[in-house]
Structure 1
Amino acid sequence: MGSSSSKYIYKINGDGETLENGKPFSVGVVIRDCRGCVVAARGKFLPATYSAEVTEAFAIKEGVVLACELKLSNVILESDSTVVVQALVSKLGFGDIGPIIQGSLATLDSFSSWNARHLKRDYNRVAHDLAKVTRSAETSQTWFGIDSPFLQQTLLLDRSKC
C-alpha cells in the first residue's frame, strides 16, 4: 500500500458463519477504502467449531491481521456482535473471547488510529456472505484489489444503499 495509505481511513467488516451440519466454521472479512471500494477480502475456514462469539472475535482478528499485512494504519472495525465490539472498545476481553481480543488489541497498538463500532446485521452482509461461501467451499482465500467473484452481487446491493 505504501506510505499514502497512512492518511486514509479503511473500514473493516468481519463476520462469522456458525450454522448447521456440524461443519467447521468460517469467517469473512472485507476491507474498503474511504470511497467504499474493496481493497482486500478474505474468507478463512476455521479448523473447528466455536461459539458464535468466538467466531465473531476470530473474524475481527482476521481483519486486523489482513490490515496489518496491507500496512494500513487507520481503521474502523465493524461487527454485528455487540459483545466483540464492547470488548474491543473497553479493551477487556473475558471468557473464551479474551485471548482473541487481547491478540487483536496487541496488533492494533501498532496502528496510528482505530475504532470499533457495532452495526446491524443487514449492514454487514458482504462479510457474512463471504463467510458463508467460505464455509460451503471449505477453503480459505484472499483477494487483493478486486471484488471476490462470489460477492459481486452482494457488493452491488450494498453500494446501492449508500
Structure 2
Amino acid sequence: MEWSPPIAQRYKINYDAATFVEDNQAGLGVVIRNSEGHAMASLTQQIPLPTTMIEIEALAARRAMELALELSLDNITLEGDNETLFKALKNRDTSLAMHGHLIKDILFLSSYFSTFNVSFVRRQCNPLAHSLACKTKSLPLMTVWMDTVPPDLVSVLQADLSSLP
C-alpha cells in the first residue's frame, strides 16, 4: 500500500506524531497535498510530551485542521495512522477520555469545511507526515513550508508521487 491522492478539488491532510521520551518532547508533522499529490504546505512543531500516544496524535490532527483553516482550504480529508483516533472522529465520539476534549476541538474545526472526511492508513502509507514529525527532534521551533516540504524530505514526497498512476 502507498499514499493515494484525494479526488479532484479536494485536499488530503496527512498528520503524524513522534515521541522523544528522553527529552520529554513530542513532534507533530503535517503535510497538505492536492489531488495531483503536490505539497500545498507542510509543518513541523515540537511540543511538551503529553501523557498518552492518542493525545499526541489528536494534537497533531488538531494542528493539521488549524493549518488548513489558516490557509483557507476547503473540502478536506484528514488522514492519519492511529486507528483509535480515526474511529473516534468517524463516530464523532466525544467521550470523557483524557483526549475527549481534543476530539471535540477537531470536530468543531471540521464544521468550517464544506466537505470533511477522515481516513485511516497504515504507517507505511504515511511516511512524509511521520518524517516531518521526526524532524522536530532537530528543528524544535514550529516551522511551516509553503508549496513544498523541507529540502531533506523532497525524496520522501517524490517517492509518494512516483507510485501514482
Could you tell me the TM-score, scaled by structure 1's length? 0.90
Q: Which residue of 1 aligns with 2:67?
A: 66
1:156 offset after TM fit, Å?
Answer: 1.4
Q: Which residue of 1 aligns with 2:112?
A: 110
1:134 aligns with 2:136: yes
SS at match of 2:22: coil
1:96 offset after TM fit, Å?
Answer: 1.8
SS at match of 2:119: strand
Kept after mapping to 2: 8 A contact 1:14/1:30: yes
Q: Distance in 1 between matches of 2:80 and 2:49?
A: 21
1:20 offset after TM fit, Å?
Answer: 4.1
Q: Which residue of 1 aligns with 2:48?
A: 47
Unaligned runs of at least 5 residues, structure 2: 1-7
**Which of 134, 149, 152 is the matching residue for 1:150?**
152
Q: Which residue of 1 aligns with 2:3?
A: none
Q: Deviations over 1:110-157 (max 9, x none)?
A: 110110011010010100000001123222101111222131111112
Unaligned runs of at least 5 residues, structure 1: 1-6
Output the aligned Cα RMSD. 1.4
Stretch of structure 1 that moved more, 51-60 or 149-158: 149-158
Q: Which contiguous aligned blocks of 4+ residues in structure 1 show a shift greater than 6 angstroms?
A: none
Kept after mapping to 2: 8 A contact 1:58/1:100: yes
1:19 offset after TM fit, Å?
Answer: 4.2
1:49 offset after TM fit, Å?
Answer: 3.5
Kept after mapping to 2: 8 A contact 1:10/1:33: yes
Q: Distance in 2 between matches of 1:118 and 1:157?
A: 20
Q: Which residue of 2 aligns with 1:4?
A: none
The amino acid that maps onto 1:141 is T
- In the comparison of the two structures, how many residue pairs are matched? 156
SS at match of 1:25: strand
Q: Distance in 2 between matches of 1:143 and 1:116?
A: 24
Could you tell me the TM-score, scaled by structure 2's length? 0.89
Greater helix content = 1
1:17 aligns with 2:32: no
